[in-house]
Amino acid sequence: MVNAALAQFQQVFIEESLEGLDTMESSLLALDDGGDAELVHTIFRAAHSIKGGAATFGLPEMSSFTHEAESLLDEVRGGKRAIDGGIVELLLRTVDCLRGMFARARAGEPLNDATAEGLRGELAAMMGRGTAAGGLQARRPADQADAWTIRFRPHAGMLAGGNDPLRLIRELAGLGELAVTAELDRLPALDKLDPTECHLGWTIELAGPAKRADIAAVFDWVEGECELAIEPKHVVAATAPPAAAAPVADVAVARAQRETSAESGTVRVAIDKIDGLINLVGELVITQSMLDTFRDGVDASRLALLEQGLAQLARHTRELQESVMGIRMLPIASVFNRFPRMVRDIGQKLGKQVRLELVGEHTELDKTVLEKIGDPLVHLVRNAIDHGLELPAQRRAAGKGDIGTLRLEASHRGGNIVVEVSDDGAGLNREAIVAKAVQRGLIRSGESLGDEAVAELIFQPGFSTVAVTTDLSGRGVGMDVVRRNVADLGGSVTIRSTPGKGCVFTITLPLTLAIIDGLTAAVGGEHYIVPLVSIVESVQLKREAIKTVAGGGELFRFRGEYLPVIRLHELFGCPDAVRAIDEGLLIVVEGDGARVGLFVDGLIGQQQAVVKSLEANYRRVNGVSGATILADGSVALIVDVAGMVRMQSRRKVA
């Protein structure tokens, strides 16, 4: 039914509508916290655009569904109904349901499901109840009937608006069997007939169960341009199944769907960013033509000019690079925005009162990083509410206010993005963690550990101190996954805990994944790039400093701890490499929470590397995270430090 061109616009419509839904959701939450009337207008406008768009882009089910919500909102907007928790709750579920509908629309599946039907009933019931109690309106005519009589008389000028009565009637045919009678009484004599005007009217008998809203939705776009009467022939008892709402499951589904939508392959870019790019490219073209004048040769008199041109070229290239990277940069708000809802839901479930503070939502970071940071943050937030914040009674006992504070803060720090998740709860339970670690054999009992070492324990796979697993957290698949995900993005996670005062989780991330700073290391005539962020130090060791352990592993002492040596030439099979420890260099690197020493021939220098995928045309290679192109056009591989550390620890286990 939907042709290709329409389908293309439908995609755009869906993207826009999802944004509209986000607006609705955040406004609803603000409204719940006592927001002003302007919020109601914002919500209404969003709902109205979705309704109108859905009707245009061939999604009548969605249009009529949204119409119900819009009617409710209209009453609130008109002051006929006061907003309360029940309405907000219902509308939030409507938002979730619409997200589900959009996901299904995208997948080309039928839009309506049981949840939608249930919600529609609830919305209608909410309307009915309010009007009955308030007595502000006459009872609405029946909303559902087995057969309808529709009288449709377009005004003479309706066709000028591009509305085709035939299309409307065809659309009606989607609702049931039609019997259409044309009314010719207004048809003028042939010599007076203006062929651009509409002189016909229709009486349409629609057989088949349909809702008034569905029928009205068909005529949405000709409202005010026609006379329309919709009369039920047989009224059926209003059936509003009081849908046994299963909000928790729904929320989970909706969230999953939102996540997939967030990873769609388009980026919206501000016009000024694009204008900036065009300017830069213009500059670049000018510089190029200036340099082109040197094609015929350079004499000493023009040497200064050449130098100047090259300097300009360098500057413009760098600026262009930064601007292009900027296109991929999006504010972290799109990730933060999901938390108000989530915190509210979890808090209600656990009986905890939580105030959420979001700081630095405008901090921009790379789209790829943004898409992958969501899950670890969700995990940390859940943990903070479940384990960190106490119940109101406990908080009072500890001399704190009833309401716990959860703070999400994003900021730039150097070339990194720092995201902090902090709470003012109880902090880490040191005793419980130590006891659990002893029980699991991670440490010996009686071993004294610093606070940092204790905090480090919770990053162990499968580590959980919670006796009862809830459906929120406590299954022990948590912090290690968080750390792993963050490490995959080239970042790190640290904890700072103050008993009784709360806990701060700090995630440090690179600004972008596309360009890294690296040190070029030589191994047997080949060049490898080691990411600068993971390098701790480079050391040259004496032969005696290496301890060989049973099984062939080598260890060296570095600042009081023994670290394993990974010989790159062995791992990568490089011929003609330096083998004697005292002739080469050890680069101490940190990844995935552990340190190792990488043995190389020597260091060549520092450079920025544009990361290219090996997998695009080949496949993944162990110990290599990608490749880059050197100044001479040849390819150098980038060392995957976290992967190597993991490889090393796997060996240890085996």
* Residues at the site binding another protein, with contacts judged by CB under 8 A: 526, 551-553, 566-567, 570-574, 612-614, 616-624, 627, 629, 633-637, 647-648, 650-651, 654
Taking the C-alpha atoms of residue 143 and residue 126, their distance in angstroms, rounded to an integer, is 14
Quote the least distance from Cβ 572 to another protein, whole Å.
4
Q: Which of 251, 495, 489 is nearest to 370 (CA)?
A: 489
Residue closer to another protein (CB basis): 321 or 405: 321
Contact between 562 and 580 (Cβ < 8 Å): no
Tell me the HSE value of 419 on the side-chain side, using a 13 A CA sphere.
Answer: 29
Q: How many CB atoms lie within 10 A of CB 252?
A: 14
Name the residue nearer to another protein (CB basis): 159 or 614.
Answer: 614
Q: Which of 590, 600, 630 is nearest to 612 (CA)?
A: 630
The DSSP secondary-structure symbol of 582 reads G
Query: Which SS3 state, helix, strand or coil, does residue 157 take?
Result: coil
The least CB distance from residue 516 to another protein, in Å, is 15
Q: Which is nearer to another protein, 80 or 651 (CB)?
A: 651
Q: What is the enclosing helix (H) or strand (E) of 182?
A: strand 177-183
In the complex, minimum distance from the CB of residue 272 to another protein, in angstroms, rounded to a whole number: 28
Smallest gap from residue 328 Cβ to another protein (A): 17
Q: Which is nearer to another protein, 501 or 612 (CB)?
A: 612
We find the least distance from the C-beta atom of residue 599 to another protein, in angstroms, to be: 12
Nearer to another protein, 198 or 637 (CB): 637
- 3-class state of residue 36 by DSSP: coil
Considering the complex, state which of residue 497 and residue 520 has its C-beta at the smaller distance from another protein.
520
Q: CB of residue 382 vs another protein: minimum separation in angstroms?
A: 32
Minimum CB separation from another protein for residue 281, in Å?
Answer: 18
Instruction: Please tell me the distance from the alpha carbon of residue 375 to that of residue 259, in angstroms, as a whole number.
Output: 9
Distance from C-alpha of 578 to C-alpha of 576, rounded to nearest angstrom:
7
Sort 301 into a burial class: Cβ within 10 Å, 0-12 / 13-18 / 19+: exposed
Distance of CA 268 to the CA centre of its chain: 14
d(CA 392, CA 348): 12
CB nearer to another protein: pick between 418 and 614 = 614
CB of 369 to another protein, least distance (A): 22
Query: Could you tell me which residues are beta bridge partners of residue 11?
Result: none
Distance CA 435, CA 464 (A): 11
Nearer to another protein by Cβ, of 530 and 574: the residue is: 574
CA distance 375 to 489: 12
